[in-house]
Chain A
Amino acid sequence: MKCKALLGALLLLLLVPNTIFHAAGNEVLKKSPEQLVEPHYRLILNEWEKKNIDSTAQFERAISPDSFENIDEDQLLSDSKSYGYGDRVVYWDNEDTVSLQVEVDKAGLYEIGFDYFPLGDLLMPIEGAIKVNGEYPFFESRRIVFPVNWENETEKFATDRHGNEIIPKQQPIKEWNHIKAADTNHYYSRPLKFYLEEGINTLSLTNLRGEMLLGRVSITSPEDVPDYEEYIGSADKTAVSGLQTYEAEHPLEKNSSYIRPVATDKVSIVPYDSKRLLLNSFGGESWSESGQTVTWEINAEEEGYYHLSFKAFNNKSTGAPVFRTLLLNGSIPFKEVEHYRFKNSKKWYNETFSDENGNPYLFHLKKGKNKLTLKADASPFGKTIYTIDEVMKGIEDLSLSIRKLTGNQLDQNRDWNISEYLPGIEEKLKKWAGLLEKENDYLVEVSGGQESTESVSLQISADKLTSLSENSDEIPYRLSELSEGSNSAAQLLGKLMIDLQKQPLLLDRFYIHGEEELPEVSAGIFAKLKNTVTNFIQSFSGENLATSEVEEGTIEVWVNRPRQYVDLLQNMLDQNFTPETGIKVKLSLMPDERKLILASAANSQPDLALGISNWLPYELAIRGAAVDLRQFEDFPEMGRQFSPGAFLPLIVDEEVYALPETQDFFVQFYRKDILNSLDIPVPDTWNDVVNILPELQRYGMNYYTPIAGAVAFKPFQATAPYIYQFGGDLYKEDGIGTRIDSEESLSGIQFMTELNTIYSTPLQVPNFYNHFRYSTLPIGIGSFNEFVQLTAAAPEISGWWDISLHPGVKQKDGTVDRWATGSAQASMVFEGDHKNKAWQVLKWWMSEETQTEFARTLQTQYGPEYMWNTANLNAFSQLPWPENFKETILAQWEYLREVPKTPYSYMVEREISNVWNKVVFDGENTRSAVDDSVVTIDREMRRKLEEFGYIENGKVVKPYRIPTIEKVERWLGTDDEK
C-alpha cells in the first residue's frame, strides 16, 4: 500500500515539472542568439543563385573622398598630407562612419574595393564594417579587415652570440594598398559580393578598430579568372630554359607579422651549418591561417613562360593536404592554381605546379621584377566548416533544451519518451548525420583521396548522431556522446573545425625554370652520416645553461622562462641595452628556480634572476641573500609603474626585495549565450552569485571558483580573497599572530565554506577551460591562464564569452570590495659586486618602453597567443589586447592585493586550507576549526619569529611590521595623489 502511494507520488512528480520544462524548452529553441544578426554570406549567395541575381556587365566606378558624406572637415586631409596618394584622403579612425553614394546602371552584384594607407602601431588589425543602404547585407559584412604588409627590418639575418641566426624584427610597410572587401576568415577565395539596386545606393563604412587613411572607394563588377587553356592560348608555348633558385626564407613581404623563418635542422635544407642554427626555411605552423600571404620578388631575364617549383614540406599532423592560392603580380593567373593542393608527406618534396596528369603549368612572367605570392587557403573547406558550425550550433541548442527538460538528474533508471517532449528530434539528428556524411564525401574528394583524421572524425561524429537518433530515448543519459565530454560529437566537430582551418606549409626554396632537372631534394647518405657524427661531437659543448662560465664583468642573469623568451630578451639586450650602457649581459635558462637557493648557499648566485615565483625573493631576503631595492635612489620612480598591492609579498620589514614582473588577474568569465538564453544576469557581488546558483544548478550547471581548481591544498590565491573582501585580515598589525579569528575574517571563511557546503558549488574541477567550453560551468572566476586558452584555443565559442570584475562584497557605502590576488612572477637582484649594474639592467627591462616592445615583438614574431601580462601598468595599457578586456583587467587590478609574506605565512596558508577541509569534509564548525588553527599557527609563529630574532625567550624584542598598501604607496610617493 505504502509502495503504491509512493509510486503514485513519484509519477505525479514526474509529470508536473516536465510540462513546465517543455514549454521553457521550446522557447529557447526559438530564440538562439545567432538569429539576432544577419544570415551568413553563404546563405545569401544561395538565395541570389535561386533568384537568378548575378553580376552585371563590366562596370567600374571610383568614388573620390571629396564626395564622401558624413565626415568632418578636419577629417578630410589635403593632398600634401596623403603620403603621396595624389588626391584628398579621409583620416578614418575611432569608430567613425563614412558614407558615400554610388549610382549603378543595373541592379546586380558588385565588389567593393578600397585604397587605404595604414597608420598606428598596427599590432591589432584595422577593421571596419560595411552597410549597404543602411543595413548589413550579411553577417560577414560586420567585420572587414584591412591587412597590412610586413617586412623584415633587416634583409640579412643577424646572429646571436652563439652564431645562431635570429628572427629579424618586423616592421609594417606603410604604403598605399588596395583591397577588395573579403570575409575575415577567408572561407571564400573571391572577394565578397554586394547587391546594389539600380540607381543611387548608399554605402557606409564604420571603423571598428585601428586607424588609416582612406582613399578612393571603387565599385566593380566581379572579375572572372580564366582557366588554364584560356590563359595559355592556343599557340604552342615552350618554357624559357635556365634554372633560377630563390630561398623562401627571404620574402619581400607578408601580410601577417608572425609568419616567420624557421631553423630546420636537416642537412638537405639550404643553407645548413652543423655548428649553428640557420634560418633556412619559411612558414610551417606560423603560416597556417587562411588568408595569410607571403610575397617574393622574382627576376625574369626575358619575358616568356616559365615553370614554377617549390621545395616543400607538409606533415600536418592530421595527414591532410594543404592548399595555397598562387598569385602573380597580385592576381590569380588561372583557375587551376586558385586552390592548389600540396600533398601530405613525411618527407620534403619538390612540387612543380602542374595539372592532374603531371603536366607542368607554364606561367607568364614579364621581363624584370615580378611578384610571386602564395596565400594560405582554407576556402576549399569553407563549405564544410560552415556545415559543421551549423550542426554544432544545433547540437548545442538541443542539448541545452534536453538539460532544461531533464534538469540535473543523473538517474540512469528513469525512462524518457524524448520525442514526446522534443518532437522531431530523431529527424533532426538524422538530418545532421546526413549532412556530415555528405561533407565527408566532399572532403575525401577535395583531398585527392588522401586519408586524414579530419574525415575519420567527421565519420565518427556522423555515426554517433545516427546511433543517437535510433535510440533517441536514451539521449538524456548519453549526452556525453552528443555534447559533453572530450569524445562527444560536438567536441569532435569543434576540434575538426580548427584542424580544417589550419593550412601549414614549410618551404625551403623555389625554382623558376624551364625543362631542366631540379636539384635533388634530400642529401646523400654520406652527407647525412657525416652530419650525424658532427652533431654528436658538438653535443658536448652546449653553452646556454645556467652553469656555464662567463667572462669577467658580465652581468649574469638567470631566467626561469621558455627558450623563445630568453632568446628574444637576449637579442633585445645585445641590440639596445649593451651599446647604450656598455654593460654586458648574459642570460641563461634556469629550469628550476629552487636552484637559486642552492646557488646562494654555494655563493655562486647570479646577479639578477627573472621570472621567479613571487614567494622566492622573500625566502632569500629574510636569510640575507637578496638586495634591498629601496637603497637605489630611483626606486620610487620605478615602483610607481606597478600596482602597489603586488609589492606586498616582496617586502621584509621596511625593505623591498624584488619587482613584480608579470601579473595575474582573477576576473569573472561568463558565457553570454548561455546566460542570455537562461535569462540569468551577470552577478556583481557574492550575493548575486548565490542568487543565480539555484537557476544554474537546475540545469546541471554550476559556478566555478578557484577553490575547485586547486588541488587538495588550497593556496592563498583561492582562499585569501574571501577574507579580504569581507573586511578581514590575515595578520595582526604588529605581525605577532594571526587575525583569521576576527569577526570579519571568520565571516569570509564561513562564506567560502558555505559556497561548497550550502550552495554546492563544485569541489574539484581539474580544468575550468574545458568545462567552460562544454558549458557545464558557464560562469566562474578565472585567471590569465584561462584567458589565453579561451582566446587562442576556443574558436567554437569565440565572441560568445566575456569577462567582468571579480564578484565582491557590498560595503555600507554602496561600493563593492573585490580584493583578489594576482601573484605571478617577480625579478630580483642578488648580493655581489655588480648589484648597481644589475639594478640598471632590471630598470631597463621593467621600463615601460622595453616591456611594451617585448610584448609587441613576442606577439609579432610568435603569434597572438604569446600574450605577455606585464606587471608594468603603463606598458599593460598599451598591449595589443582587445580594449574592453584590458579595461576590465585594469579595473580589477585596482583591487589587487597580494598576501604579504611573513616567516610563518605557509602555516597560515596551510591552516586556512585545513579549515576549509575540516568544515567541508568533516562537517566541523567553522569557528572551532579556526580556533584550533590559530593555536597551531601561533605555535609555528613563535618558533619562526624566534628563528629570525623577533622573539627571544618568549618575549617580543622587535616588532614584525606587516606591509600594507598604504605603506607601499607612501614609499612610492603616490599616497598624496589619491
Chain B
Amino acid sequence: MMKNKQNLSTSIFLAPYMIMFFTFIILPVAAAVALSFTYFNAIEMPTFIGLANYVNVITQDAVFMQYVLPNTLTFAFIVGPGGYVLSFILAWLLAQISKVPRTILALIIYSPSMTAGVAMGVVWKIIFSGDEVGYLNSVLIRMGIIYEPVQWLQSPEFLMTIMIVVTLWGSMGVGFLAMLSGVLNINREIYEAGYIDGISNRFQEIIYITIPSMKPQMLFGAVMAVVGTFQAGAIGVELSGANPTPQYAGQLMVNHLEDFGFIRYEMGYAAAISVLLLLFIYLFAKVAKILFGEKD
C-alpha cells in the first residue's frame, strides 16, 4: 500500500519530464526511423519499401559518397577537435586572469555561438562578398595583392575553408563555458600538492592535474562539439546563398538531407539520411566517452 503510493508520487513528479521527452524526443526519432523504411513524397501516404533507402544511400547516391560524406568528415574532424581544443585553451587562458576582464572576455567569446547561422551568414557574406566592395577583396586589392575580386563564396576552392573558419569562430558555445567553470572549480590545493610532488611547469600542470580533474566537463564539451559539428549545415548554404552549394563543395549531411526532403520531396530517403546522421553522432559521442568518461 505504502509502496504503491510512493510509486505514484514518483510517477507524478517524473511525468512532466517523461511526457516532454516522449513527445519531443522519442516520438520524432521513432517517426524518422519508421519513415526511413518507406517511400514518402510528402503528400501521398507513405508506402513501405524495406531497406531500399539505405541500400540506395550506400550503393547509388554518388553525390553522398563523392562529396557529402568526405565533406562532412573533413569538416567534423577539423571543426570538432579544433573547436574543442580551442575551447579548452581559451578557457584555460581565461581562468588565469582576474574576474572582471574574464567575465567580459568570456561573454565576447561566447556571443558568436548564440547568433543563429543566418545572422552569422549575413556578417560573413559582407566580408567575403565577391565584388570589389567586399571587405576582404577591398583590403587585398588596396594592398595590391590581387587585381580582381576573388569569388570567395562561389568558387569551390575556398568555400570549405571559409565554412571551417566561420564555424570555428562561432564554436565557443556551452562546451566552452562548461570547461571554463571546470578549470575554475579545481581545488588550488591540488596544484600545490602537485608542486610538492615534483611538477615543474604549467604544461605538466595541465596534463597531470587540470585535465584529469575536469573530466566531466571535458566529456560534456566533447559531446557538444560532436553534435554541433554534425548538425552544422546551415553555414555553407547561408554563405553560398542556395542549396546545393556550388559543385557540392560545401555540401554537408544536413544539406543533403534538406536537398532530398525539401527540393526533391523524398522524405523517406531524407529520413534514412537523418537516421545515419544520428548513428554517426552516437558513434562519435561514444568515442568521446571512452576518452573522457570516468572509468569506474
Which A residues are within 8 Å of any B CB, using their own CB?
410-413, 485, 594, 597-598, 600-601, 619-620, 623-625, 710-713, 760, 762-766, 906, 910, 913-914, 917-918, 921-922, 936, 939, 943-944, 947
Neighbouring A residues of B244 by C-beta, 8 Å: 713, 910
B59-77 interface code vs A (CB 8 A; 1 in, 0 out): 0101000000000000000
Q: A600-B43, A712-B241, A906-B263 given as contacts; is B157 within 8 A of A921 (CB)?
A: yes
Are the CB atoms of B154 and A764 closer together than 8 Å?
A: yes
B262 touches A (CB below 8 Å): yes
Neighbouring B residues of A713 by C-beta, 8 Å: 240-246
B42 touches A (CB below 8 Å): yes
Main secondary structure of the interface of B (DSSP, over half): loop
> Among A411, A906, A914, A944, which residue has its beta carbon within 8 angstroms of that of B144?
A411
> Among B42, B148, B155, B240, which residue has its beta carbon within 8 angstroms of that of A921?
B155
B233-245 interface code vs A (CB 8 A; 1 in, 0 out): 0000000111111
Stretch of B26-34, B91-99, B128-136, B208-216 lying at the A interface: B128-136
Neighbouring A residues of B240 by C-beta, 8 Å: 711-713
Neighbouring A residues of B143 by C-beta, 8 Å: 412
Neighbouring B residues of A412 by C-beta, 8 Å: 142-144
CB distance from A427 to the nearest CB of B (A): 29
- A922→B133 CA distance, assembly (Å): 24
Are the CB atoms of A764 and B242 closer together than 8 Å?
A: no
User: Could you jot down 17 A-B contacts, CB within 8 Å?
Assistant: A410-B141, A410-B147, A485-B133, A597-B265, A601-B42, A623-B265, A624-B44, A710-B241, A712-B246, A713-B241, A713-B242, A760-B148, A763-B149, A764-B131, A906-B264, A914-B246, A943-B60
Q: A410-B147, A766-B129 given as contacts; is B44 within 8 A of A623 (CB)?
A: yes
7 tightest A-B CB contacts, nearest first: A711-B241, A764-B130, A713-B242, A712-B240, A623-B43, A712-B154, A712-B246
B253 touches A (CB below 8 Å): no
- A939→B59 CA distance, assembly (Å): 13
- A921→B240 CA distance, assembly (Å): 15
Q: Which residue of B lies closest to A623 (CB)?
A: B43
> Among B43, B141, B264, which residue has its beta carbon within 8 angstroms of that of A597?
B43
- A521→B118 CA distance, assembly (Å): 44
CB distance from A939 to the nearest CB of B (A): 7
- A20→B142 CA distance, assembly (Å): 27
Are the CB atoms of B262 and A594 closer together than 8 Å?
A: yes
> Among B60, B149, B153, which residue has its beta carbon within 8 angstroms of that of A712?
B153
- A939→B131 CA distance, assembly (Å): 36
Neighbouring A residues of B131 by C-beta, 8 Å: 762, 764-766
B contact residues, total (Cβ < 8 Å): 39
CB distance from B121 to the nearest CB of A (A): 11
Neighbouring B residues of A918 by C-beta, 8 Å: 247
CB distance from B16 to the nearest CB of A (A): 24
Are the CB atoms of B246 and A913 closer together than 8 Å?
A: yes
Looking at B147, B241, B243, which has the most chain A CB atoms within 10 Å of its CB? B241
Neighbouring B residues of A623 by C-beta, 8 Å: 41-44, 265
Q: Which residue of B lies closest to A760 (CB)?
A: B148
B156 touches A (CB below 8 Å): yes
Extra A-B contacts (6), CB below 8 Å, given A711-B240, A713-B242, A936-B62: A712-B153, A713-B246, A766-B131, A917-B156, A939-B62, A943-B60
Looking at B60, B148, B153, B246, which has the most chain A CB atoms within 10 Å of its CB? B246
> Among B43, B141, B144, B156, which residue has its beta carbon within 8 angstroms of that of A922?
B156
- A910→B151 CA distance, assembly (Å): 19
Are the CB atoms of B154 and A921 closer together than 8 Å?
A: yes
Neighbouring B residues of A910 by C-beta, 8 Å: 244
- A712→B158 CA distance, assembly (Å): 12
Neighbouring B residues of A712 by C-beta, 8 Å: 153-154, 159, 240-242, 245-246
Neighbouring A residues of B133 by C-beta, 8 Å: 485
Q: Which residue of B lies closest to A944 (CB)?
A: B264
- A917→B142 CA distance, assembly (Å): 27
- A922→B157 CA distance, assembly (Å): 9
Q: Which residue of A lies closest to B132 (CB)?
A: A410
Are the CB atoms of B43 and A921 closer together than 8 Å?
A: no
Q: Which residue of A lies closest to B152 (CB)?
A: A764
Neighbouring B residues of A594 by C-beta, 8 Å: 262
Neighbouring B residues of A913 by C-beta, 8 Å: 246
Q: Which residue of B lies closest to A922 (CB)?
A: B156
Neighbouring B residues of A947 by C-beta, 8 Å: 39, 41, 266
Neighbouring A residues of B156 by C-beta, 8 Å: 917, 921-922
- A711→B130 CA distance, assembly (Å): 10
Neighbouring A residues of B159 by C-beta, 8 Å: 712
> Among A624, A764, A906, which residue has its beta carbon within 8 angstroms of that of B43?
A624
Neighbouring A residues of B266 by C-beta, 8 Å: 947
- A921→B244 CA distance, assembly (Å): 17
- A763→B150 CA distance, assembly (Å): 9
> Among A411, A485, A710, A764, which residue has its beta carbon within 8 angstroms of that of B129?
A764
Q: Which residue of B lies closest to A485 (CB)?
A: B133
Are the CB atoms of A597 and B42 closer together than 8 Å?
A: yes
CB distance from B88 to the nearest CB of A (A): 35
Looking at A619, A710, A712, A917, which has the most chain B CB atoms within 10 Å of its CB? A712
Neighbouring A residues of B148 by C-beta, 8 Å: 760
Q: Which residue of A lies closest to B240 (CB)?
A: A712
- A914→B63 CA distance, assembly (Å): 13
- A605→B43 CA distance, assembly (Å): 11
- A712→B246 CA distance, assembly (Å): 6
- A763→B157 CA distance, assembly (Å): 16
Are the CB atoms of A914 and B44 closer together than 8 Å?
A: no
Neighbouring B residues of A921 by C-beta, 8 Å: 151, 154-157, 246
Q: Which residue of A lies closest to B265 (CB)?
A: A619
Q: Which residue of A lies closest to B147 (CB)?
A: A410
CB distance from B34 to the nearest CB of A (A): 15
CB distance from B250 to the nearest CB of A (A): 9
Q: Which residue of A lies closest to B44 (CB)?
A: A623
- A762→B154 CA distance, assembly (Å): 13
CB distance from B77 to the nearest CB of A (A): 24
CB distance from A339 to the nearest CB of B (A): 41
Neighbouring A residues of B130 by C-beta, 8 Å: 763-764
Are the CB atoms of B147 and A620 closer together than 8 Å?
A: no
- A624→B41 CA distance, assembly (Å): 11
Neighbouring B residues of A598 by C-beta, 8 Å: 42
CB distance from B246 to the nearest CB of A (A): 4
Q: Which residue of A lies closest to B150 (CB)?
A: A763
Q: Which residue of B lies closest to A598 (CB)?
A: B42
- A939→B61 CA distance, assembly (Å): 10
Q: Which residue of A lies closest to B151 (CB)?
A: A763
Are the CB atoms of A914 and B265 closer together than 8 Å?
A: no
CB distance from A681 to the nearest CB of B (A): 27
Q: Which residue of B lies closest to A599 (CB)?
A: B43
CB distance from B251 to the nearest CB of A (A): 11
Neighbouring B residues of A943 by C-beta, 8 Å: 60
Are the CB atoms of B151 and A620 closer together than 8 Å?
A: no
- A910→B264 CA distance, assembly (Å): 12
- A951→B151 CA distance, assembly (Å): 41
Q: Which residue of B lies closest to A410 (CB)?
A: B141
- A917→B153 CA distance, assembly (Å): 11
Are the CB atoms of B43 and A601 closer together than 8 Å?
A: yes
- A943→B60 CA distance, assembly (Å): 10
CB distance from A440 to the nearest CB of B (A): 29
Neighbouring A residues of B246 by C-beta, 8 Å: 712-713, 913-914, 917, 921
- A11→B154 CA distance, assembly (Å): 38
CB distance from B222 to the nearest CB of A (A): 33
- A763→B129 CA distance, assembly (Å): 11
Are the CB atoms of B141 and A620 closer together than 8 Å?
A: no
- A712→B157 CA distance, assembly (Å): 13
Neighbouring B residues of A764 by C-beta, 8 Å: 129-131, 149, 151, 154
- A485→B134 CA distance, assembly (Å): 12
Are the CB atoms of B43 and A413 closer together than 8 Å?
A: no
- A410→B154 CA distance, assembly (Å): 23
CB distance from B138 to the nearest CB of A (A): 9
- A411→B133 CA distance, assembly (Å): 16
- A713→B250 CA distance, assembly (Å): 12
Neighbouring A residues of B265 by C-beta, 8 Å: 597, 619, 623
